[in-house]
Amino acid sequence: MKYDSEQMTFVGAAATAEESAALRLHYEIMAAAQAAAASLLDLARKIKLMRDTSGYKALGFDTLEAYTLTTMGMKQRQAYNYIAIAEKLPAQLIEQNAAAGVTKLALLAQLSGQEQQQITAETNLTETTVAELKAQIKELQAKNAGYAEQLSLLQNQPPVAEVQAEEVNMDALRAEIRAEMKAEMESQRRADAKMTELNQKERDEAIKAAQKARAELEEAKRAAAAAEQARAKELDQARHQAEETAARLNMVADESAVRFGLLFDQLQDTAGKIFDLVDTLQQGGLTEKAEKFQTALHKALLALADEAEDVQK
């Protein structure tokens, strides 16, 4: 399994439980990122609506700044950054770059639509600092201003007969520049369409992963409940067997007798398993080892018998 940068998704199936868990977490992160982007856009639109309707006055505030500062700790400049984002940026651009933060998005809002497309096509806003973004915007605007000046000079060129050949070349240059700008815009349009498709795919996969994770959690809960019931049943059976053992030994079935019966059964069971092991060793030809085990068990039982006699004394 590896990440395909062009498709912006993981290709191949998870080979281990660790990879499967990590992949589910990735899809949950993608879903959370989509929710954060939608939240930023929703907040920007609602602050703009509060300003446009002067709703803050109905709440007892004289200005929008007084409302945002008092209720959210948001200064006027920050509030108007949100408003600029809502007014001047496409919703898709906001959702795709929500992680970059309000300050960078507000800088984009100061640009024309074409300049916004040029910046987002060439720059990773999340990894770029505010200072770097300002420098890139300044450089882009200077370049675009140079194009505009060049076009203006070409359009205002006097029709002098001696430079007719030059004018033909200039017309070609103007056409070339226009074609380049048109191609850039078309490329950005295709990239936006592809991003929309991929985002939908990521959301669908995130939903499926979340549903699968919930199903696995429910299954784990059911398994835990079943295990607890089995454990309780085993304890009941052990207690019942201990009570029977206590009864066989003519003991009063109080808590100590039941506990003695349980331990006594365990002792007999353990001794039986040791005898079985000795028989297996003998049948396998390991007579010497079997005799050592049998001798050790015999000594242990004699020692227990001696201790029991000392207790009786």
Q: What percent of the chain has pLDDT over 70?
A: 82
Query: How far are the Cα atoms of 8, 30, 72, 189, 206 from residue 194, in angstroms, in the given order?
Result: 10, 17, 37, 9, 18
- The pLDDT tens digits for 214-223 are 898 888 888 8
Cα angle for residues 137, 143, 147 (degrees, 5° grid): 140
CB 231 within 8 A of CB 249: no
Q: Report the predicted TM-score, pTM, of the whole model to 2 decimal places.
A: 0.39
CB 281 within 8 A of CB 300: no
Q: Please give the pLDDT value at position 107.
A: 92
* Two tokens, residue 192: 């936006």
* Two tokens, residue 108: 């984009």
**Cα 304 to Cα 117: distance, rounded to the nearest angstrom:** 89
Beta-bridge partners for 10 = 3
**Cα 96 to Cα 38: distance, rounded to the nearest angstrom:** 10
- Count CB neighbours of 123 within 10 A: 19
Q: Please give the pLDDT value at position 273.
A: 87
Q: Please give the pLDDT value at position 27.
A: 75
Q: Please give the pLDDT value at position 312.
A: 67
* Two tokens, residue 284: 């396998």
Residue by residue, pLDDT tens for the chain (313 residues) are 676 766 667 778 877 888 787 777 767 766 766 677 678 889 999 999 999 999 999 999 999 999 999 998 999 999 999 999 999 999 888 888 888 889 999 999 999 888 888 888 888 888 889 999 999 898 888 888 876 666 666 566 555 444 444 445 667 777 888 888 888 888 888 888 887 887 788 888 888 888 888 898 888 888 888 888 888 888 788 777 767 776 776 655 567 776 777 787 788 888 888 888 888 988 989 999 889 988 988 888 888 888 877 766 6
CB 209 within 8 A of CB 28: yes
- For residue 197, the Cα-to-chain-centroid distance in whole angstroms is 20
Cα angle for residues 97, 23, 39 (degrees, 5° grid): 30
Q: Which residues of 230-249 are buried (b: 16+ CB within 10 A; e: fewer)?
A: eeeeeeeeeeeebbebbeee
**Cα 289 to Cα 112: distance, rounded to the nearest angstrom:** 91
